[in-house]
């Protein structure tokens, strides 16, 4: 799914939500996880509420759709925005870089 922000000049920002489906397990609720990606606001529209509006729309949709959580790999610049929305660092993620 995608959300866009527009002005009279056209699109000035966008954010995408990818669905991370989970395999059924007997003791879990198996709710989906959302992956926030490809979030961009054009420089003239930054720090004016455009990014917040996009993230708010995405978050409201995810809550209404019954997602368990949202995940994101933020840049240094976008980290404060995500933290204002309640995103927290997780110690649970493990990563295996594949040298391809």
Q: What is the pLDDT of residues 20-50, one digit of tens each?
A: 987 777 777 788 899 999 999 999 999 999 9
**pTM, whole model, 2 decimals?**
0.86
| Residues 35/20, Cβ–Cβ less than 8 Å | yes
User: How many Cβ atoms sit within 10 Å of the Cβ of residue 70?
Assistant: 20
Whether the CA torsion 84, 40, 73, 47 is positive or negative: it is negative
């Amino acid at each position: 799914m995608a959300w866009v922000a527009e002005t009279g000049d056209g699109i000035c920002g966008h954010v995408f939500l990818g669905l991370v489906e989970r395999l059924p397990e007997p003791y879990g609720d198996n709710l989906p996880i959302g992956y926030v990606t490809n979030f961009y606001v054009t420089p003239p529209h930054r720090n004016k509420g455009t990014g917040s509006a996009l993230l708010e729309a995405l978050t409201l949709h995810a809550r209404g759709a019954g997602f368990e959580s949202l995940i994101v790999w933020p840049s240094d610049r976008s980290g404060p925005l995500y933290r204002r929305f309640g995103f927290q660092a997780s110690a649970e993620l493990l990563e295996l870089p594949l040298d391809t």
